[in-house]
Amino acid sequence: MGTPYGTLPASSPEPQRKPVSLPRLQDMRERGEKITMLTAYDATFAAVADAAGVECILVGDSLGMVCQGLASTVGVTLETMCYHTESVVRGLRRVQGTAWIIGDLPFGSYHESREQALRSASALLQAGAHMVKLEGGGWTCETVRFLVERGIPVCAHLGLTPQSVHALGGYRVQGRDPASIERLKHDALDLQDAGAAMMVLEMVPAALATQITAALARCATIGIGAGKGTAGQVLVMHDMLGINLGKNPKFVRNFMTGQSSVQAAMAAYVAAVKGGQFPDDALHAW
């Protein structure tokens, strides 16, 4: 498709592809087919990721760092999340994309009350997201249940939760001591019980992520720096393309290496996740 700025991918590789749905993602989890997810924040990259076969696009609040140049995700607003979600949705529509779109609820947009969370989640769904993601366990379970009961699919996020970076004392591996291991396992079960259909597990030991994945009967775990035992994987797009402004976390692989296009790099990521070649557990010293 020609645009004033270049050419968008003509369409998905298989024209008969159906939109990715929650039942389809659950079916993949049950069959053991790895779910692939990448972040995207604009129309063109979302269309390229979709054409590469990525099933889920996360409009992550990591856009605060990679698009806005912020030091953390704490400064990202709901208005900004809606703007980027709308851009991603428009990009996918232009190429008849099929990806499942997850919008991050930013810091402060769901912490006050369940009603505030409902208003914020509604704004993201009206911007075109299919699912919202929120961080943390404990008190969030009540919020998750409230949203799910009102027809809003929710992805939870445990382990390193970047919106709590100040409380955590940095971007550190979580779930290393017995108390935090137990808390993570309980939080995961409680969030599943509250209705979370997906759950990002960020920077936790591979063995713990594998145990949590096995303990969850209905919720698909998506790992980032959590080993290969999860139901799927997610990476920040800029990291996997090797264009991170800072230092890449050691669990990230630069998929541009040896590829001649962004779409080929993303397709290589999809193939590596599906084939079990990524992540490489040797890279998990934690």
How far CA 24 is from CA of 18, 47, 100, 178, in Å, comes to 10, 20, 10, 35
For residue 126, give the nearest of 81, 165, 82 by alpha carbon. Answer: 82
User: What six digits make up the tokens of 132?
Assistant: 């919202």
- Minimal CB distance residue for ligand KIV: 60
- Which residue, 44 or 62, is less far from ligand KIV as judged by CB? 62
Catalytic residue among 55, 86, 135, 202: 202
User: What six digits make up the tokens of 202?
Assistant: 């960020």
- Which residue, 190 or 202, is less far from ligand KIV as judged by CB? 202
Other beta carbons within 10 angstroms of residue 203's beta carbon come to 22
The amino acid at residue 123 is A
Which residues make beta-bridge pairs with 12? Answer: none
Q: What is the distance between the alpha carbons of residues 28 and 35, in angstroms, rounded to a whole number? A: 7
Q: How far is the CB of 152 from ligand KIV (least distance, A)?
A: 18
- Which residue, 181 or 234, is less far from ligand KIV as judged by CB? 234
Q: At which residue do the structure tokens 């009961």 appear?
A: 149
Q: How far is the CB of 16 from ligand KIV (least distance, A)?
A: 30
How far CA 23 is from CA of 3, 173, 194, in Å, comes to 34, 32, 18
Q: How far is the CB of 140 from ligand KIV (least distance, A)?
A: 14
Clarify whether 202 is annotated catalytic: yes
Residue 169: partners with Cβ closer than 8 Å, 6 or more residues away:
none
Q: How far is the CB of 63 from ligand KIV (least distance, A)?
A: 7
Residues near ligand KIV (CB under 6 A) are 39, 58, 60-62, 104, 200, 202, 224, 234, 236
Q: What is the distance between the alpha carbons of residues 95 and 44, in angstroms, rounded to a whole number? A: 10
- Give the N- to C-terminal CA distance of the chain in Å, as an integer: 45
Q: How far is the CB of 236 from ligand KIV (least distance, A)?
A: 5
- Which residue, 11 or 77, is less far from ligand KIV as judged by CB? 77
- Which residue, 12 or 20, is less far from ligand KIV as judged by CB? 20
**Active centre residues (catalytic):** 202
